[in-house]
Structures are given as C-alpha cells and as structure tokens.
Amino acid sequence: MVFGTAKQWLVTLDGQPLNHATDSLERRCIDVEGWHSRAPIHVPVVERTYGPGAFAIEGRAGARVLAIVGQLTAVGRDLVAHEVETLDALAPTGHIALTVTDRTLGARTMTVQCTDAPEVVWRGGPVASYRLPLYAASPFKYGTTSTGSTGFASEGSAVGQGLEWPLFVGTGMLSWGTPPAPGEVGLATVVNPGTATAWPVFKVTGPAPAGGFEIVDTTAGFSVRYLGDLPAGSVLVIDTADGSAAIDETADRTGDLIVTGWPSVPPGGETTFRFAPLTGGSSAVLTVEATAAYW
C-alpha cells in the first residue's frame, strides 16, 4: 500500500510527522509495511492420541512486525544527514507511538518499538531512502476514547427502594418508581466503534466507603469489587486489560479486588456499568474510559 500525498495520509512516529515538506526538506513516507494487514493468528495443533485429526483449539493473535519505508530529500546533504541521525536515535528509546491518520477512517495508533537501526541508502546528492523495522507487542490499533462518569446512586432514588407506599395509589397498581436514565443514578456508558473488543479502564476518585464498592457490567453481569481503602482526593485506577489496580500510580491494590469476570465493551457496541457502594455511601466518582480497538 502506497500512502501517496500528505493530504491523504499523515504518518507520525513519536510525535514527528514522516510525510512533511518545507522549503528546504521533504520527508516522504512511502509505506508502513504490516499496517494494513491483520496480525498473524497462532493456532496450537494438538493431535488426537486415539483418533484422527486434532483438537479444536482457539487461536490467538500474535504481535505485529512492521516497517516504515520512506525517503528524505533536502536542498543540502547536511540536512538529510541530520534527519538520518534523528532516525538512528529512535532505535534505543523503547516504546513510542506510531499513528496513521487516514482521511476516511481517521487516526489509528499503535505502540511500537524499534527492533534495529534504520537501513539507509544514499541515492546520490541530498537524497536518502530508509527502512525502519518496528515491533508492536499488541496486535491492535487504537482509535478514539469514549468516556462516561457517575457517582453512586443518590439516596432516595427509585433504584433499590422497593415498592412505593402507600400501595395502589393513583394507578391502582403496584409501582417500583421510574427507571433511571444512564448517568443519573450510578450508571456510566461507554461505546466502542472498533472491530475488536475494548477493555475499559476504571478510575475512581475518593473518598470511597469503608466497606468498598463494586463496578458491574449491566449486560454480562460481571463485577469488579474493591475492598480496600481510598482516601479523599486519591485515584484508584483499575485496568481490565491486564487486571491491575493501583492508587495514585504507586500503591498496588490488585490484591484488594474480587473479580467474577473482567468487563469489556464489544466491537461496534456499548456497555453500561453500575457503580454501587457495598456499605454506606460517599462522594466517590467513577470515570470509565474505553478506547476503540481495531484489528
């Protein structure tokens, strides 16, 4: 796939545009190998011992191997040499963001790392082509982030009150009150327009009740309970992608979680989460973030 002009594509690596032109220098990204194809699927083969064929085992998407192919042209060789040095400096820097913005699909981002120094070929004069090998541990590309937030269900709301008294007044029927709207009584909804499952991040700002709280996927029924403390102003981050929990990015609280199943947001769908105290109540606020995932 050839990217063409900068008007159609914008490729950035570690925040630096790779197809960009000034009066003295042109960066041209010709291709990002491996970007447009899906990550490889690995299916383990376990042969049947006493029968024909093999067992049906679910496959897993592997890491992506990519490479940026580009060309550098300038009014002087010294400018191109400086650009080559900049590419060389990327190799040992660790994990960086690769973003490809398509005028139709929008921006997609992957976290990558350089696996080797760029292969540079001087074309004569102030022109050099290069190929920069990259590796992405995650097979997914990521798009926009959907956010929802809520506090606990307000005292006296229709949820959890049971029957309204006196009975049969007005309509002659039993009433449990008016169902709540999302975001009003402990509910937060996020969407995932992507093509792969998105794993949300829960951020709870304290103070939390002494008995803890739970976050429930109202569709699948999976719940995440937190039984530890959370002081006022501190933020507990629960990442469903890796099952971790930490307060203020330093204090590990993974051991204070009870999980019946990790909640997720299906591709092309949405999920509503219920935020409820296990005992008592407080002014804690839940923020849910789900970043659209694409194959």
- Average pLDDT along the chain: 86
Mean pLDDT of 230-242: 94
Q: What is d(CA 265, CA 281) in angstroms, rounded to the nearest whole number?
A: 27
Q: What range defines the domain where residue 252 resides? A: 144-173+181-294
Is residue 127 within 8 A of residue 259, CB to CB? The reply is no
Whether residue 86 is found in the same domain as residue 123: yes
Whether residue 108 is found in the same domain as residue 166: no
Whether residue 67 is found in the same domain as residue 199: no
Q: What is d(CA 206, CA 234) in angstroms, rounded to the nearest whole number?
A: 5
Is residue 194 within 8 A of residue 200, CB to CB? The reply is no
Is residue 152 within 8 A of residue 276, CB to CB? The reply is yes
Per-residue confidence (pLDDT) for residue 68, from 0 to 100: 94
> Which amino acid is located at 232 in the chain?
A
Question: Is the per-residue pLDDT at 141 higher than 60?
Answer: yes
Is residue 273 within 8 A of residue 288, CB to CB? The reply is yes
Q: What is d(CA 80, CA 232) in angstroms, rounded to the nearest whole number?
A: 54
Region of residue 170 (left: phi > 0; alpha: psi -120 to 50; beta: else) = left
Whether residue 129 is found in the same domain as residue 247: no
Q: Tell me which H or E stretch contains 90.
A: helix 77-90
241, part of any domain: yes
**16-17/41-42 β-pairing:** unpaired
Is residue 202 within 8 A of residue 147, CB to CB? The reply is no
Per-residue confidence (pLDDT) for residue 57, from 0 to 100: 83
Q: What is the pLDDT of residues 102-129, one digit of tens each?
A: 888 899 999 999 888 889 999 888 999 9
Please report which confidence band the pLDDT of residue 20 belongs to, taking 50, 70 and 90 as the band edges: confident
Per-residue confidence (pLDDT) for residue 4, from 0 to 100: 41
185, part of any domain: yes
103, part of any domain: yes
Please report which confidence band the pLDDT of residue 157 belongs to, taking 50, 70 and 90 as the band edges: very low
Whether residue 159 is found in the same domain as residue 281: yes
With CA atoms as reference, report the closest residue to 192 among 101, 107, 290: 290
Mean pLDDT of 202-216: 93
Torsion, CA 207, CA 211, CA 215, CA 216, rounded to 10: -160
Tokens of 100: 């490809």
Please report which confidence band the pLDDT of residue 167 belongs to, taking 50, 70 and 90 as the band edges: low
Q: What is d(CA 219, CA 148) in angstroms, rounded to the nearest whole number?
A: 16
Whether residue 135 is found in the same domain as residue 150: no
Q: Which residues of 84-140 form beta strands (DSSP E)?
A: 96-102, 106-114, 119-122, 127-136
Is residue 21 within 8 A of residue 6, CB to CB? The reply is yes
Q: What is d(CA 87, CA 90) in angstroms, rounded to the nearest whole number?
A: 5
Mean pLDDT of 66-89: 90
Mean pLDDT of 7-17: 84
Q: What is d(CA 21, CA 35) in angstroms, rounded to the nearest whole number?
A: 23
Q: What is d(CA 219, CA 265) in angstroms, rounded to the nearest whole number?
A: 10
Per-residue confidence (pLDDT) for residue 125, from 0 to 100: 83
Whether residue 150 is found in the same domain as residue 284: yes
Per-residue confidence (pLDDT) for residue 158, from 0 to 100: 41
Whether residue 190 is found in the same domain as residue 94: no
Whether residue 68 is found in the same domain as residue 152: no
Q: How many domains does the chain have?
A: 2
55, part of any domain: no
Instruction: Report DSSP state, residue 207.
Output: P
Residue 42, strand partner residues: 60
Region of residue 162 (left: phi > 0; alpha: psi -120 to 50; beta: else) = left
